[in-house]
Structure 1
């Protein structure tokens, strides 16, 4: 479909002079992506699974990546530094016409690449890409209430707090709430508005 042409590769120089490549994931990325996911699972408690819990085979991941590539309202973005997957962003909308305009995303970045601006670059790509589609008009996310760095990033990009979800995470015997945040996209341009 025509909107898939909007999924382009970008080259960005980070503040520490590292070259960042943002590109859509391809089916041949399945194996390194699963290794990345397993590493992230052991480095962060801000995601919805721990080590060994992701539960996808290489073939399942490859099929998923093929599906994302063919779906104009889905995005699987890879952030690479020196050939290594440094981070990812995934986004998908509902399938039915009444909910196809809105979707949710998640970002993961390897700990050694935190605080370099990769999250900002991934998020800027998502917002620009979504704004150019003819379908997506709302970007949603859920974030732990204690993940202050991520909340600050989302607020910087105009995401509004839309609610609090109690007991969203259960980690090491404790419940943790999450905020639901959203960004409305202006249909007449590539801009976003908080609502």
Structure 2
């Protein structure tokens, strides 16, 4: 689905939250690769499950044509700073729920970009009747967990020793859900 853009400002920077466009595909591929290398909060290491520009173009086309999916970008004057994606389900027994994921370049942490992407996604989901929004978050990502809780997400399950990070230790993945009231 495509939504109108919204301009946001915080801590001296201005950005627009808008639907991804086909012309974003190449930059999205590069941004995702950078995000994967900046933190271990993501599932992938740099280059794993690489999506090239053609792959992103296909995702953008699919999401733009689906009433159950939403692909947003946060664009600054210097380019895309982050993105989020909501993927719904076409199976009738699961049309009430969707999965949410977000990534923001480290240079743009602290500007409310993740918060705005989440807020816009939840507004959209509420408007189309999504009753349950799911996401996965690494247990050590305290800032993200705190943000999600502020928006009504709660822990639904814990996947124990789900990820092994560079320190050689295993970490839990928390499955959080928000139920529309």
Shift of 1:131: 0.8
What is the aligned partner in structure 1 of residue 132 from structure 2?
138
Distance 2:169 2:101 in 1: 22
Q: Is the contact made by 1:38 and 1:54 (CA closer than 8 Å) also made in structure 2?
A: no
Distance 1:110 1:137 in 2: 29
Note the 1:14-53 alignment, pairs <5 A: 14=10, 16-53=11-48
Q: Distance in 1 between matches of 2:104 and 2:36?
A: 11
Q: Provide the residue aligned with 1:179 in structure 2.
A: 174
User: How many residues are paired up?
Assistant: 180
Aligned residues of 2:33 and 2:50 also touching (Cα < 8 A): no
SS of the residue 2:92 aligns to:
coil
Structure-2 separation of matches of 1:152 and 1:53: 28
Q: CA RMSD in A?
A: 1.3
Consecutive unaligned residues of structure 2, counting only runs of 5 or more, are none
- State the 1:109 CA deviation: 0.7
Structure 1 residue runs of 5 or longer lacking an equivalent are 187-195
Q: 2:90 aligns with which of 77, 95, 99?
A: 95
1:123 and 2:115 aligned: no
Q: Which residue of 1 aligns with 2:5?
A: 9
Residue 161 of structure 1 is matched in structure 2 by 155
Q: Find out whether 1:84 has 2:84 as its counterpart.
A: no
TM-score by length of 1: 0.87
Q: Distance in 2 between matches of 1:168 and 1:30?
A: 31
